[in-house]
A and B are shown apart, each in its own frame.
Chain A
């Protein structure tokens, strides 16, 4: 039973339909992320859950209650914005206490709750500071505490880390995830950063043009992308054209080599059809890993050393292939221009419907 559900939710601005029959069920305590390119409707869906926009069609329920037409201030939703949106006229304490005062809590209970929240975000010592006296990361933590203080049913975060620098972004996303786990609060997180979405979510919803293209765990999204869009948007992919030689046994022909793929990823093959076979950079190796690996001939174009990984560009036929390897001390790197072989296992090849 889902705690937060969206059923066939659509939203149009004038004639422009930006969210189309969006379905989603989020379990209680689950952390889900909306991932997608700019303008795909992530914010719009989130704002409909928050009550800032009304769906053109469809229904939203929270804990069994239909909230589709409920005003935002009655929904018990915590919201964290990209630009923090702390009240500039209030100090940290009063910002966090704002929702509690509205709920009519008595003074001493508010005081206890605010102190707890500030301890949770480790900013108890800044209670008297005003927003303009704090860094972006500190402000966003206060915004999180403010949103969580009145114990909302659902926490919504719209690209909360986009305005912060890379280091803070990583540490704060872990903080958010830990706090979320501790409180067990149902959370929807919006981002266009795939690494962010994959690393902290229970499930990821990849959005494309107002629809959910795929909903799944980070591993499913990355390893078994259902659509070409998901495959291309999440991570890097090398794509090859392959011809179906025997649809009944999933046999394909790739650059003259015969490959039998264990799974077609749900796509129905027909004999003679040309399909796309995709490989992640880390699925390609310079040594054979096991019997049955497929070999491709190539010429090294570029070697990039990134510490723990080495990223190579290899020309195969008339295509440039991206290869990621773990750095190993005893590994001798081939020179640029040298001819090498790349191996991959058919099990790692993704069939993408054309």
Chain B
């Protein structure tokens, strides 16, 4: 006879309510923009706003560039550290964790001092220059997630032996990284990428201090000026975050040669080389 786990069940219920009740309340509120009826008017309103589209696009692009940059920095670094310098791995791990310890405000003020008006590289004086700073800032924010994900991905394969196998077949280091290491940590990069994306998409501090037309500052502005639209935005942001998590899971558990979605059998091509 299995004991009924009363206490654990209770904890789960309480936790779920703690999480779901505000969510439901926000959702319910977001539907009440029109008096007396439940409607998606607040959502329609948001989508019709040019600022919404513009800021969202801006932030999405900034996040994606940051992800690519982060992957290009982290993958070779993690690879090299694991292969040649295993002793400094704890140090590198600590360094990549710094963005979680040091507040973004500090980072941005540092940028403004170093790349300000009278610096050797006055990035903050032009829009493109400030965009570059924002992307670099997002890249730094992504380091903790990227490094951990990629490093774990590399722990799962025997990179030393795979590297030697590739080298004995004539591959250079760059080619080994590109054709053997990178593809094998792709799902790890993807999970780091989705985490980074969901964080930097709504990032406020850096974007606002650098005065960029990003999604985070827009969200805050909306929250100050309107009632129903912010609730709708919150629900949508929540949806995006969960979609990112779901995609991350999907990529992380995919095996090589497996399709993301099942194929329609009648359309099966002869060769299944990826």
Contacts and interface: CB of A to CB of B under 8 A. Distances in A.
A92 B218 CA distance: 51
B180 A85 contact: no
A130 B179 CA distance: 16
B2 interface: no
A84 to B, nearest CB: 9
Contact of B273 (A52, A78, A93, A98): A93
A109 B167 CA distance: 22
A258 interface: no
A103 interface: yes
Interface string A36-80: 000000000000001110000000000000000001111111110
Contacts of B273: 91, 93-94, 128
A259 to B, nearest CB: 53
A89 B273 CA distance: 11
Interface string B246-274: 00000000011100000000000001111
A93 B186 CA distance: 21
B164 A103 contact: no
A102 B255 contact: no
B168 A77 contact: yes
Contacts of A73: 167-172
Contacts of A74: 170
A186 to B, nearest CB: 15
A72 B168 contact: yes
A160 interface: no
Given A88-B184, A93-B273, A130-B256, A103 B161 contact: no
Contact of A130 (B158, B167, B257, B271): B257
Given A73-B172, A102-B170, A87 B272 contact: no
Given A73-B170, A99-B170, A128-B272, A85 B165 contact: yes
Nearest to B256: A89
Contacts of B166: 87, 98
Interface string B154-180: 000110011011111111100100011
B183 interface: yes
Contact of B161 (A78, A83, A150): A83
Contact of A150 (B170, B186, B271, B274): B170
A147 interface: yes
Contact of B168 (A50, A83, A86, A128): A50
Interface residues of B, number: 26
A132 interface: yes
A212 to B, nearest CB: 24
A81 interface: yes
A79 B184 CA distance: 21
A146 interface: yes
B167 A72 contact: yes
A154 to B, nearest CB: 10
Interface string A91-119: 10110001100110000000000000000
A78 B168 CA distance: 6
A243 B15 CA distance: 86
Contacts of B157: 88
A79 B180 CA distance: 17
A89 B184 contact: yes
Contacts of A132: 255-256
A103 B183 CA distance: 21
Contact of A52 (B158, B162, B164, B186): B164
- Most chain-B CB neighbours within 10 Å: which of A76, A81, A87, A98? A87
A60 B158 CA distance: 28
Contacts of B164: 50, 52, 72, 79, 81, 85
Nearest to B184: A89
Contacts of A86: 165
Contacts of A89: 180, 183-184, 186, 256
Interface string A317-334: 000000000000000000
Contacts of A83: 158, 161
Contacts of B272: 91, 128
Contacts of B165: 79, 81, 85-87, 143, 146
Given A88-B256, A128-B272, 16 more contacts: A50-B168, A71-B167, A73-B171, A74-B170, A85-B161, A87-B166, A87-B184, A88-B157, A90-B256, A98-B166, A99-B170, A102-B170, A102-B171, A102-B175, A132-B256, A143-B165
30 contacts: A50-B164, A50-B168, A51-B167, A51-B168, A52-B167, A71-B167, A73-B167, A73-B168, A79-B165, A79-B168, A81-B164, A83-B161, A85-B164, A87-B180, A89-B184, A89-B256, A91-B272, A93-B273, A98-B169, A99-B169, A99-B170, A102-B170, A102-B171, A128-B271, A128-B273, A132-B255, A143-B165, A146-B165, A147-B168, A150-B170
A-B pairs, 10 with minimum CB distance: A99-B169, A89-B183, A79-B168, A102-B170, A85-B165, A72-B167, A85-B161, A73-B167, A89-B256, A130-B257
